[in-house]
Amino acid sequence: MTAPARLDGETLLRWSRRAVAELASRRREINELNVFPVPDADTGSNMAHTMSAALAEAEKLDDGATAPAVAAALATGAVKGARGNSGLVLSQVLRGLAEAAGRGELDGTAVAEALRIALVLVDRAISEPVEGTVITVLRAAGIAAAEQSELADVVRAAVAAARTALAQTPSQLKALRDAGVVDAGGRGFVILLESLAEELAGAEAPEVPAPESHGRPAYLEVMCHVAGTDLAALEEHLSAMGDSLVLACDGEDAAGVHIHTRAAGEVIEALFAAGAVTALRLEVLPEQAQTPRRAVIAVTPAGPVADLYREAGAAVVTPPAPEGDDDIVSAIARTVRTSGADEVILLPNGLLNHRELVSVERAGHAFEQEITLLPTARLLSGIAALAVHDPGQPVGVAAYVMQEAAAGMRTAVLVRAESARLTPAGPCARDDVLVLEGETVTAVAEDVAEAVESTCRRLLSAGGEQVSLLLHESVEVDELELAERLGVEVMAFPAGDIDELVEIGVE
């Protein structure tokens, strides 16, 4: 049999029936691969359901429908009937096919273009695209397809590249690597391409098996189709209400919506307020969806400062005693390992030297855990960073915002001079109070209270609305009086037996 040079309406319908049959027959296989983003074992079921909804819409067309008409119906049916994250991704793949079909005949070049468009649509639809998923497989297929021109060659190249990319997904995503599986959505996409290749080759179509059901406990997944809405405003509104948010666009003002949330009522109210809602479905997700994937770890002295960090949500590592057998790098590595997180943000707080920082970063590689080191030079810098941590943001974005907050905290420390000497700020006697900004002595004083006030004024000269103080257990400061004298808010925290007399932060 000679492979056709283009896809007509009838060929698209036969491919769709074949794809539905293949996805249904391999539903369990794909479900068992499903470990990311939520191990809810439903990707195969969701893709089979979504492709069935697409086919049902296309089957409504009159006999002899054109390729553009069939492709458009498949896209519409998939968007409206999409189930789960993987279903919405599939709907965007079919939208790419529909857009390419609308521009002319579906020859090899057009199918390659459909894959390119699909990648753009999928990337836009997923709020946090992740490599090692169907996106990676789709991209590889599109790149390989674009190197060919004849329809059969385009599809064969796409299949081969997609299979190769799928096999590599565990190397890109830790969840897959730990489970020893490839990406479930990527496997489903490969099956779609293989079905098209088989249809073009004239292979016998499989039978559709009876459907199977599965249950899920807790944590809600909300899915629907919404029309007549401002999609950008809707995405911004919903993004704060949950995760795994996908808007699968169906025109300029309509989309399929998918979100995992613990606030389903608020999500549904927002959807109905935004536009016309149809095909609303709620499903429960397993408890694993509630397990945080990221940990913030802070290096701090033991005592009240460590308690401050713990209350703010950080795991704490205190430097081991110098005479002990343990070391700070090992202590951090153990905390990273036992956190179970695959993303770790570390706040060194000036308590690690360069060699230790390098060793900590390498320890993360050994455990295949990503460690992001933030340049927090002081304890108060770390507290400022921790205050703005948003676990809902990608780790790179969260770290960037935290780093900005840390950099915005201007700090100084007060210490006792261990001996008489000449400093950049003048001579000092033993037990004088030295003010350090960075590693430089900027002032010498005899009284701690006077040094605190003068240092605060100097730091506030560059602007600021709040002063934070960490106080050694031997130091007392009347924060209300100091606030009145400075004209800004002052917050003082007992810090136990820290090395410094006072740490000052202005923001």
What is the predicted pLDDT for the residue at 261?
78
pLDDT (average), residues 224-246: 84
Q: What is the pLDDT of residues 160-215, one digit of tens each?
A: 989 988 888 888 788 888 888 888 889 999 999 999 999 998 866 555 444 343 33
41 CA to centre of own chain: 21
pLDDT (average), residues 415-432: 94
**Is CATH 3.40.50.510 the right assignment for the domain spanning 292-407?**
yes
Long-range contacts of 395-402 (CB under 8 A, 24+ apart): 395/294, 395/343, 395/345, 395/370, 396/372, 398/294, 398/345, 399/345, 399/372, 399/374, 402/345, 402/374
Residue type, 8: D
Q: Which residue, among 52, 62, 50, 65, has the nearest Cα to 12 in the 3D structure?
A: 65
Rounded CA-CA distance 282/427 in Å is 72
Q: Which pairing describes strands 6-7 and 466-471: parallel, antiparallel, or unpaired?
A: unpaired
The arrangement of secondary structure in 1-204, i.e. its CATH architecture, is Alpha Horseshoe (1.25)
Identify whether the C-beta of residue 95 lies closer than 8 Å to the C-beta of residue 249: yes
Residue type, 152: A
pLDDT (average), residues 386-415: 90
Tokens of 400: 């960037």
Instruction: Give the DSSP letter string of 62-127.
Output: PTT--HHHHHHHHHHHHHHH--HHHHHHHHHHHHHHHHHHTTS-EEHHHHHHHHHHHHHHHHHHBS
Rounded CA-CA distance 27/44 in Å is 4
Tokens of 345: 């943000």
Using the predicted structure, report yes or no on whether residue 408 has a pLDDT greater than 80.
yes
Question: What is the pTM assigned to this prediction?
Answer: 0.47
Phi–psi pair at 344, nearest 5 degrees: -130, 130
Which residues fall within 8 angstroms of residue 128, CB to CB, at 6 or more apart? 243, 394
Q: Are domains 1-204 and 218-290 of this chain identical in fold? A: no
Which residues fall within 8 angstroms of residue 311, CB to CB, at 6 or more apart? none
Share of residues in the chain with pLDDT > 90 (%): 39
Identify whether the C-beta of residue 140 lies closer than 8 Å to the C-beta of residue 41: no
Whether the bond into 217 is cis, omega within 30 of 0 = no
Average predicted confidence (pLDDT) for the chain: 85
Class at the top of the CATH hierarchy for domain 218-290:
alpha beta
Instruction: Give the DSSP letter string of 359-394.
Output: HHHHHHHHTT-EEEEP---SHHHHHHHHHT--TTS-
Domain-by-domain residue ranges, the chain?
1-204, 218-290, 292-407, 410-506
